[in-house]
Structure 1
Amino acid sequence: MKIKMLSALIALIALCGCSRMPTNPIKGNAVIDWVDFIKLNGNSYYASWEMVIQNPNLVTHEVVGEVKFKVADVVTNPGYITKDGDAAFLEIGTKLYRVEGYEVNEMIAAKDETRIGGYRLFLEDGFAPKVRRSYKDVPKDKVEKIELYQLEETTPYKTLAGGDKERFIQLLDSGKDTPNYTPQNRERDPTYYHMVFYTGEPIANAFTIADDGTNVFFSPWDTRIVDPQIRMLLQP
């Protein structure tokens, strides 16, 4: 009887031990919607879609890190803890560079030919709130020029300066805020453009503006409908 009880106890301990065995840290059953991040030197960096390098030469040749592991489409365990060298979407082996005028623990860059300026900029999480990223914060009196781009293009189709630049800004600023606006043309998607504001600083600010055939609108914070006269300036 004692032997049977001892055997049962050993079996129970074995089962409990198995239940505490570590699970696969990568594989799980979750579909994870990753943000575009990099982990480097204990810091988390996130891609900024509102920032464009004013001069690609400001990205130095100094390599400050390299992507070791791409988590997207691989990690499905929601409990996965990111580590140095992890990136959401950058390929393994991608070099990370220092940007002139910024500390490595503030901003880094990765080559990306699909981005205006040829680089994707990443802001360290704690530094990001200190950087101007909203249209309302752009110093309009310091804007030197505005470049306009077709969606997914990296070469501007038009550059606004002088009176055209001033008129463009005036039309943007005088638009009507319409927070719940939805595109009016149900038959086709709106036409999207990128507008990049250069103020002479190392980093330019990029925003999206759209034309749905009925209205032209953008989102300085909430959606704003702009006077249709702006189409004259948006046209190639």
Structure 2
Amino acid sequence: MKKTRMLTFILILLFLSGCRLSAFGGQVVIDWVDFIHFDGKEYNGIHSGVLADKSFIGNKIGTVKFKVADNVKNPSYKIRDGDAAFHEKGTEIFQIKDHPHLIAVKDDRAINGYRVYFSRDDDIEYQWNFKDMPIEKVERIEIYQTDSPAGNKLISKLTKSDDINSFLQLLVDSEENPNFQPTRGSGDPIFYEMFFYTDEPIAYKYYMQFDGETYYWSPWDTSILSDEIQTFIGGN
């Protein structure tokens, strides 16, 4: 019984520290959150949004001093100013104009060329869930196919208000079905990323999939979309 309790305690400690033991040699591997620690604050990467336009990028305010991923093996390591999870030393850090709680770094793989981070240490609650998006302010919608052989491929851009409103209504009218299981007869689903641009520096980002029969997405739980969505993405 004592051995069982001790093993459970050790496993809990490993979980809380964000580490795991590899299958070979008992080496500790740390699963880092995408962060940048700058000017005494921790900034986390925004996964449900992207930079809306490069014009929002302000002045350079610093650089990354140390990349912790692949270099830090000690789970007790204390994060220091200038540390970043995945960015190399020397990566330039930029402010977002008129938004002191947001920063950005260049990223060639990101839409519009920058990866955006928000401060966790300020008393500001950023919300990028679909239910929080001001749909009345959406000015443009872009849809990318993300599993294209050429990488992210822009397949649709909606700029007319009628098209934007119709597309948004299809999303609003989608039917929640958390137990939905995609069919596998046609192979892996096709993956899409949808970007919704307002007057804010961050464009909202959501995912959509098509399994050969059904379009679905996850604003919270999985929801089924009408086949009318094909009108806006060309169908398959």
Q: Deviations over 1:96-147 (max 9, x none)?
A: 00110111xx111000111111100011113486223111111112211211
Contact 1:51 1:204 in 2 (8 A): yes
Unaligned runs of 5+ in 2: 1-25
Q: Deviations over 1:151-204 (max 9, x none)?
A: 175663321132222221111111111123333226522111111111222221
Contact 1:117 1:154 in 2 (8 A): no
Whole-Å Cα distance in 1 between the matches of residues 47 and 191 of structure 2? 15
SS of equivalent residue, structure 1 residue 163: helix
1:234 equivalent in structure 2: 233
Q: CA deviation at 1:32?
A: 1.2
Q: Is 1:115 matched with 2:127?
A: no
SS of equivalent residue, structure 1 residue 38: strand
SS of equivalent residue, structure 1 residue 157: strand
Amino acid at match of 1:230: I
Alignment RMSD (CA, Å)? 2.0
Whole-Å Cα distance in 2 between the matches of residues 194 and 157 of structure 1? 10
Whole-Å Cα distance in 1 between the matches of residues 123 and 180 of structure 2? 29
Q: Is 1:132 matched with 2:91?
A: no
1:102 equivalent in structure 2: 99
Q: CA deviation at 1:211?
A: 0.8
Amino acid at match of 2:189: P
Whole-Å Cα distance in 2 between the matches of residues 170 and 211 of structure 1? 19
Q: Which has the higher strand share?
A: 2
Whole-Å Cα distance in 2 between the matches of residues 67 and 214 of structure 1? 46
TM-score by length of 2: 0.80
1:176 equivalent in structure 2: 175
Contact 1:115 1:154 in 2 (8 A): no
Whole-Å Cα distance in 1 between the matches of residues 144 and 153 of structure 2? 7
Whole-Å Cα distance in 2 between the matches of residues 47 and 193 of structure 1? 20
Contact 2:186 2:212 in 1 (8 A): no
Whole-Å Cα distance in 2 between the matches of residues 44 and 233 of structure 1? 39
Q: Is 1:81 matched with 2:78?
A: yes
Amino acid at match of 1:116: I
Whole-Å Cα distance in 2 between the matches of residues 155 and 190 of structure 1? 16
Unaligned runs of 5+ in 1: 1-27
Q: Deviations over 1:50-83 (max 9, x none)?
A: 22222202102x2222111111122222111111
TM-score by length of 1: 0.80
1:199 equivalent in structure 2: 198
Amino acid at match of 2:70: D
Whole-Å Cα distance in 1 between the matches of residues 214 and 122 of structure 2? 36
* Higher alpha-carbon Rg: 1
2:9 equivalent in structure 1: none
Q: CA deviation at 1:214?
A: 2.3
Whole-Å Cα distance in 2 between the matches of residues 99 and 181 of structure 1? 40
